[in-house]
Amino acid sequence: MNIHRQSIGLALLLSAVGLCHAEEPPATWPQWRGPTRDGRVSPGKWPDVISGEALRKSWRLDDLGPSYSGPIVADDRVFTTETVNKKIERVRCLDRRTGKEIWRKEWAGTLTVPFFAARNGAWIRATPACDGKSVYVAGIQDVLVCLDAKDGTERWRFDFVAEFKTPVPAFGFVCSPLVDEKTVIVQAGAAVVRLDKKTGKKLWKTLDDGGGMFGSAFSSPIFATIAGREQLLVQTRQKLAGVDLDKGEVLWSKPIPADRGMNILTPMVMGDSIFTSSYGGGSRAIAVTRSSDGKWESNESWAIKYQGYMTSPIIHEGHAYFLGRDRRFICLELKTGKEMWQSEKRFGEYCSLVANNDRILALDMNGQLILLQANPKEFTLLDQTEVAKAETWAHLAVCGSELYIRDLNGLTALHWKGK
């Protein structure tokens, strides 16, 4: 994975919203899965215990509508989204220290999801991204809105349904925006699209799938260097693909089987191989090569029946840790696909995972925060505590000693004891 590109959001945020300080700036969480978009945070020892007085509440905002999208954190502020009612969705900007609202922006944006997904709600889904100057928010009706991070002024808006004449996606805009120095990339409009982030102008559009049920892409793209070439790694509802960043040309692709196209999690790169897992399609590693004449090939290194679902994996020392469709945690050896262990205990339908060295924080959808050890020998649960009374579908954000928990009713800022 190209860490330089993945860290762009973080680097920009260091001179970002609010005042710039001479001392070391605070840790931030500028996008989906954090600064490096892989669920990992910078070194710094986490406590061994998270229950009791180990975690303390800094502030709590109680009056939020439901949302799947995780909070993002800048130098001095926090951004969170909400579905207000059957007509309106909104993004709020909060003071990082106090939780006090700084500004809010809203627009028309709701839909009815297919019946088999309705039990989990039809709320705004994608996690926003912030580059320090702008916040990029994906509205559920396939609209991307760029707002001034300081005061919420709308800079531009791209309506994919209006621009491309595609239907509103069945599950809404799910993909979380990916931002670099000059552009923002999303899966929307039944395709993968790259826009100029200052103007909202379309630069290229690729991997068109025609819309319909499979026009609702779930997975979020990442930047990666594979077989010596920097590229965009994207998983659609039907395939995994590498895309040329400048032209949008598909370099290689590989079909990924899944029930109803449920390719949801964010794939992870290890060297020139990619790990992914899908609902109904099992887990697999795809090896990508490029010959001397420039021809690309993608081949399956191994595949097993164990099915992933919504939880994007943590990669640590050659192993993948994630929660599967059966709601058990699993550890897989990435070189061979060997199952190292499964947890006997079942957890919620979804967990978001953040790792620091060999420690993994898992925010279970049932409001439980779980501390695990990344141990390939056995499932090791170190501690567990309740952090929310309502369901917690949004991704956990961790910034140094601070944790941000978005549940269906509100947002809570916590901090490690003594930090």
The residues, ordered by sequence, that sit 6+ positions from 22 with a Cβ below 8 Å of its Cβ are none
By three-state DSSP, how is residue 288 classified? strand
The Cα–Cα gap between 309 and 330 comes to 12
The first and second tokens of residue 134, run together, are: 């702008």
Give CA–CA dist 55/256, Å, rounded.
41
Question: Has residue 49 been placed in a domain?
Answer: no
pLDDT along the chain (419 residues), means of 10: 47 42 79 97 87 96 96 97 94 98 94 76 93 97 97 98 93 96 97 98 93 82 97 96 98 95 95 96 97 95 97 98 98 98 97 97 98 98 97 97 97 86
Q: Has residue 376 been placed in a domain?
A: no
| Domain range for 244 | 3-41+69-348
**What integer pLDDT is reported at residue 15 of this predicted model?**
41
- Residue 264 covered by a domain: yes
10 Å CB burial of residue 86 (0-12, 13-18, 19+) is exposed
**pLDDT value for 97:** 97
Structural domain contains residue 418: no
Query: Rounded to whole angstroms, how far apart are CA atoms 36 and 30?
Result: 9
Do the domain assignments include residue 333?
Answer: yes
For 413, residues 6+ apart whose C-beta sits below 8 A from its C-beta are 57, 58, 59, 60, 78, 96, 99, 402, 403, 404
Which phi and psi angles does 214 have, rounded to 5°? -85, 5
Asked if the structure places residue 403 within a domain, the reply is no
Residue 227 CA: distances (Å) to CA of 242, 297, 315, 384: 11, 10, 19, 41
* Strands 368-373 vs 329-333: parallel, antiparallel or unpaired: unpaired
As a whole number of angstroms, the distance between CA 129 and CA 137 comes to 7
Residue 81: CB atoms within 10 Å: 31
Q: pTM higher than 0.75, yes or no?
A: yes
Specify the number of domains making up the chain. 1
CATH classification of the domain holding 236: 2.130.10.10
Pair 321, 330: CB distance under 8 Å: yes
CB-based contact 38:354 (threshold 8 Å): no
Residue 368 belongs to some domain of the structure: no
Cβ pair 177, 144 in contact under 8 A: yes
Provide the total of helices (H) and of strands (E) in the chain, helices listed first. 3, 32
Q: Is residue 401 part of a domain?
A: no
- What pLDDT does residue 22 have? 46
